[in-house]
Amino acid sequence: MVAHAASAGIVDDVERMEEPGTPRVDARAVPPYARTLRARWLGRIRYRDAWALQRALAAARADGTLAEDQLLLLEHDAVLTLGRHADAGHVIAPEPMLRGRGIEPIRVERGGEVTYHGPGQLVAYPIVALAAPGAGSAPRGFLPVGVRLFVGALEGAMADTCAAAGIAAGPRPGHPGCWVDATGPLPRKIGALGIRVARGVSFHGIALNVTTNLADFDLIDPCGMPGLRSTSLARERARAGIPGADADRPPSTESVAEAAAAFGPALARRLGFELVGDLPPGADAAGERRALEALVERLRATDAVDDAEGDPSAELAPTHAGAR
């Protein structure tokens, strides 16, 4: 009963991010390899650039022009993002400090509160059709994905990635994301989750701390929870006494790439999708970025991407940092 209540709380949090009328199907069991998921390792990329790519891909996936679900795996420069209805008061750092460090607070469409992204953190954006894309009947072989299953798969894939690094982690009842010692006396958040579902397609996603500079979380109340303890794989591996582990390992794209190589297959496995595309260490991030930008341009040329919304941030309430 407790587990069911916790699951309902997480799903309610996600469903508040959806547009009215988004179809939902409670697909609890998905046969293996019913669909493909194309992984794309992009390396370090500006937040606004990745945001634009997500929106373009989600629009094309929703109208059926883009045939494959996408998984963007990447790392950002330091940035703060706030959900559509997030309280800007949870940005603790004063605006001049953020401006001096080149850290922009950006309000976006997803649900949830303020989140930090930065070097040493794996960010994954799954662009997945949870309902049948396009008009008319579903494509042959298409199986919908329930919101509960999708959120659970994201949380489970983060836990699997931690396990691959020797760290036990998992969901915490009533608190979306991935936690170390979730039910113990000192729960520590290692992964955040915040998605949006529009026209049956997900975007935004997860952030998993690998070698992240945890001091940067002092800029905010992470996820709107004052006093929340943030942690990373580097810190937890050192705490566990794993040989060679260093709690103060500097943030590196190499460490994020290692986590991406574990997360992609874990998510595909939990969704029952076939993973295609190149992952680190063999993936060419620069080449993948060029290929993805070219794909988006082709989609725009065929009017598959609706740019009528313009700059999405113009629709959202302004963000004022350092409100307290």
- What are the sequence ranges of the domains in the chain? 2-305
pLDDT at 138 over 90: no
pLDDT at 316 over 50: no
For residue 260, give every residue at least 6 positions away whose Cβ sits within 8 Å of its Cβ, in sequence order, or none: 41, 73, 122, 124, 279, 280
SS3 220: strand
For residue 199, give every residue at least 6 positions away whose Cβ sits within 8 Å of its Cβ, in sequence order, or none: 19, 22, 58, 59, 62, 63
How far is it, in rounded angstroms, from Cα 76 to Cα 55? 17
The fourth-level CATH superfamily of domain 2-305 is: Bira Bifunctional Protein; Domain 2 (3.30.930.10)
Active site residues: 223
How far is it, in rounded angstroms, from Cα 65 to Cα 61? 6
Residue 105 burial (C-beta neighbours within 10 Å; 0-12, 13-18, 19+): buried
pLDDT at 277 over 90: yes
Cβ atoms 68, 37 nearer than 8 A? yes
Got the DSSP string for 99-165?
HHHT-EEEE-SSSSS-EEE-TTEEEEEEE-BSS--SSSSPPTT-----HHHHHHHHHHHHHHHHHHT
For residue 292, give every residue at least 6 positions away whose Cβ sits within 8 Å of its Cβ, in sequence order, or none: 40, 42, 53, 72
The pLDDT value given to residue 301: 86
Specify the pTM: 0.85
Average pLDDT of span 274-294 = 97
Share of the chain above pLDDT 90, in %: 68
How far is it, in rounded angstroms, from Cα 63 to Cα 147? 19
C-alpha closest to that of 185 among 153, 229, 150, 219: 229
For the CA atoms of 183, 187, 192, 193, the dihedral, rounded to the nearest 10 degrees, stands at 20
Q: What are the two backbone dihedrals, phi and then psi, of residue 21, each rounded to the nearest 5 degrees? A: 90, 5
The pLDDT value given to residue 278: 97
How far is it, in rounded angstroms, from Cα 65 to Cα 134? 8
Q: Identify the H or E element spanning 208.
A: strand 201-209
The pLDDT value given to residue 257: 98
The first and second tokens of residue 136, run together, are 């008319």
What average pLDDT is seen over the chain? 84
Banded model confidence at residue 111, pLDDT cuts 50, 70, 90: confident
Q: What is the number of helices (H) and of strands (E) in the chain?
A: 7, 11
The first and second tokens of residue 4, run together, are 């069911």
- Of the two residues 31 and 43, the one the predictor is more confident about is 43
pLDDT at 77 over 50: yes
